[in-house]
Structures are given as C-alpha cells and as structure tokens.
Amino acid sequence: MRVFYWQVERMRFAESIDEEKFVIATYYLETPMELEKAAEALAAEQSTGTWVRVAFESDELIAKYSARVLEVERLGESNGINRGRLRLAFPHGNFGACLPMLLTTTAGNLFEMGEFRNIKLLDLEFPESYLKSFKGPKFGIRGCMKALGIRDRPMIGTIIKPCVGLPPKKFAEACYLAAKGGVDFIKDDELIANPAYSPIEERVSATMEMLDRADEEKGEKTMYAVNITDEVDRMMDNADAALENGANCLMVNFITAGFSALRMVCEDPSVNVPVHCHRDMFAAFTRSEVHGISTVVVSKLARLAGGDQVHVGAILGKLYESVEQVVENAEVLKARMGSLRRALPVSSGGQHPGKIPANIRYLGKEVLILAGGGIHAHPAGPEAGARAMRQATEAVLAGVPLEEYAKEHEELRQAIEKWGVYER
C-alpha cells in the first residue's frame, strides 16, 4: 500500500492575490486524494515545499515564494478516484522570464507524483508584468501578410513532397511549379533540415533563384520557410546560411528543438524574416484528454518565444484534433497578450481545395492554409494543384459554391473530382 505523505500548509490557500505577481495555471486532475489536499500538495511540490516541513521553510519564505491554490472544482468521483479542475498561482519571481523554468514550475514533478493518476496542464495565464519581459513575434499576422502584399484573404501555401530525398535542383523545381501556380508560401517538410544530400546553402540558393523567376512570372511574392532545426549550437549557423542565400522565412521544429531554441532564433537581431513554428511530436503530451499539456499552452508558449506562424491543427484534416480544438488553438494566437503581436495560425494536415470553404468558415481570413499532397498529387501536377487552391479561395470569397466555380476552372474541377468538397 502506497502512503502519500504531505503536510497541510493552509498558508498556501489564498482568497485573493496580487495577480501581477503570479502566473496562473489551470489543471485537470484525477487522484484518490481529497482534491483540496492534492491541490496543496501540488502547490508545495512546485514551489517551496516537499513531503515534509523542513528546517529553513519559514512562514516568511512560504508567504513570499509559495504557490497558492485559488480554486478547486469537483468534477465527480468514480471507483475511489476524484476528478477535479484546479487553479494555482505561481509567483513568477520564482522563475522569471525563462521558459524552461516556467515549464519546470508549472509542469515539472507533478507528472511523477504517484497519487496523481492523471493530470493535465490546461492553461497558463500571464499578467502584463510578466509579458513585458518577452518580445513575442517580430512580424505576426500583419507583418507576414504585408510582406507578401496580401489583403483580405488567407495565405495559401504548400509543403514540398516527397518529404525527403529531393536534391536541391529537383526541390527548387517543385517550389517553382507550386509558386507559379499561385501559392504564397512554401515550407520545408519538418523531416528535412540540413541533410548531406540537400545542404541548406545549396537548397536555399537554388530555390530562391527559382522563386524569383516564378514571382516575376505571376506578379506576386512567395515566402519560403527554411527548416534550420539542428543541435542548438548549430541553429544560428543554419539561420545565417539560409539568410545569406536569400531566405525570406525560417522554420523551427520547436517542440523537438525546445522553446528556448525557438526564442533564441526569434530574438536574434540578425533574423529579420518571419519564423514558422512546426509542432511535430507535440501530440506525445497533448493528445490525451486527461494527461499531459494542452495545445493551448503549447501555442501560447510558441507566441511568447516569438513565433510568427504557428501550427494549430487541421480543419477536417488527418490530425486528431476536432474542429473546435483547432479553432480554440487559433484564437489563442490572436487573443490579446499584453503588447505581443498576434501570431498567424497555420492549418495543415490533409488539406486540399475541397477543404478551403471549411477552413475559411472556421478560421477566417487571417490564416495560412497549407496543402502538401493536396497540391503535389493533383492529377495535372503541382502547378495545377496550386491553381486549384487559389481558385477555391477565390470562389469562397466571392460567395460561389466550389462546384459552380469549377465549371469554368479546370484545375479546381479536377481537384474536386479527385478529393471532393467538405462542407461541414
């Protein structure tokens, strides 16, 4: 039988706090403990306490540095397991404007506690005094749209497929066709960064040359996000190589590289282009409804770190999140967070022209919609696939059903015949 030793420190409960001094965390918890005691145990473990009162844990120290329990909401009980929602306040003076220590405090040892059968960090709320320590996105929604001359419509983009294996010239050719067809944005797949068969210098140089050609032909600009993910001490070298060869956007796999790595790139003065944030591996700790960390928290932290464009899921796509969850993730990037710029939500994962109506309906016009296979697997090739995406966008903005618009737009007609139209 496991015995869970915790002293009850009533000083950790708070009727009111100076909210400017605290970051507030909301959790879902399943535990055999009484929820109030579990909440206090969490507060103690993640601030001044341990399983027993120690010699130097003075009342004064607890009063200044301990986490406070703000709210305990009972959600029910089953087979001896209590379910609840907890709100705790952590003094941000304990960790400062340091993302690793913020996460260590709000999502650290609590996942290891034996009597916390399931626990999920649902949200983090930041006061103005804390947000002032972060620069946030350099470009954000308006800056990204302005860089491409886009007004009153979504950005349309693609991921180059196949994901890996293309040498620089073939990769550049694929980019040219998609750009010529009308995409505004092209990104590396998250699986390619700086491999021996396609070094950043060669890939970016070849690609930007072809994009310049496409831009001249179509009369629009194209943004290319170069994946610079690497060991942390090599990421800025990759960024420099990309920028020196004409890159107009950088990309970071920010979960695998780390929030601090993302922040390092975003806040570096030499990085004067938007930073695209890919969240691969995030679902390892976000997918469970009862355990881990929510995507809302991931999105907020990416914005704090300075991400200009952040993946939020896929509207009616191949990923696990519901439409409602994707919309919530997108709203977090657009909601007010002090003076931080709004970040551009990215809808990606199983998209194609037939899903453009749903994307615009749920996410509006301030969104980047990415299609990989939905462009490169078009029956007439990637240029036609790109045209079909733009045609679908034009149809929606004009209030014309896709099937009707397709009667006079062959590329869209072929895409609809292959993939259909999703109207949810």
Q: pLDDT by residue for the chain (424 residues), tens digit each?
A: 333 434 444 445 556 789 999 999 999 999 999 999 999 999 988 988 665 677 677 888 888 899 999 999 999 999 999 999 999 999 999 999 999 999 999 999 999 999 999 999 999 999 999 999 999 999 999 999 999 999 999 999 999 999 999 999 999 999 999 999 999 999 999 999 999 999 999 999 999 999 999 999 999 999 999 999 999 999 999 999 999 999 999 999 999 999 999 999 999 999 999 999 999 999 999 999 999 999 999 999 999 999 999 999 999 999 999 999 999 999 999 999 999 999 999 999 999 999 999 999 999 999 999 999 999 999 999 999 999 999 999 999 999 999 999 999 999 999 999 999 997 6
Question: What local confidence, expressed as pLDDT, does residue 61 receive?
Answer: 86
Name the DSSP class of 62.
H
Domain ranges of the chain: 10-131, 140-419
Q: Do domains 10-131 and 140-419 have the same CATH topology?
A: no
Do you find a cis peptide bond into 353, omega within 30 degrees of 0? no
For this structure, is 352 an active site residue?
A: no
Q: How many CA atoms lie within 13 A of 130 on its CB side?
A: 26
Identify each DSSP E strand in 148-248 by its residue range.
Answer: 155-159, 185-187, 223-227
Distance of alpha carbon 195 from alpha carbon 197, whole angstroms: 5
Question: What local confidence, expressed as pLDDT, does residue 1 receive?
Answer: 30
Task: Mention the CATH class of domain 10-131.
Answer: alpha beta
Least Cα distance to 85 among 26, 33, 141 occurs for 26
Catalytic residue among 92, 161, 311, 409: 161
Distance of alpha carbon 197 from alpha carbon 202, whole angstroms: 10
Tokens 């294996």: give the residue: 165
Question: What CATH code is assigned to 140-419?
Answer: 3.20.20.110
DSSP assignments along 107-160, one per residue: SSGGGG-TT-SEEEEEEEE--HHHHTT----SSHHHHHHHHHT--SS-EEEEE-
Catalytic residue among 278, 334, 352, 355: 278
Contact 259, 233 (CB under 8 A): no
For this structure, is 291 an active site residue?
A: no
Q: What share of the chain is helix, strand, coil (3-state, %, to 5)?
A: 45, 20, 35
C-alpha 85: how far from chain center: 24
> Tokens in use for 164?
């890996």
Question: What local confidence, expressed as pLDDT, does residue 4 receive?
Answer: 40
Backbone angles phi, psi at 296, to 5 degrees: -60, -45
> Tokens in use for 148?
């491409």
Tokens 């090599």: give the residue: 234
Question: What local confidence, expressed as pLDDT, does residue 15 receive?
Answer: 60
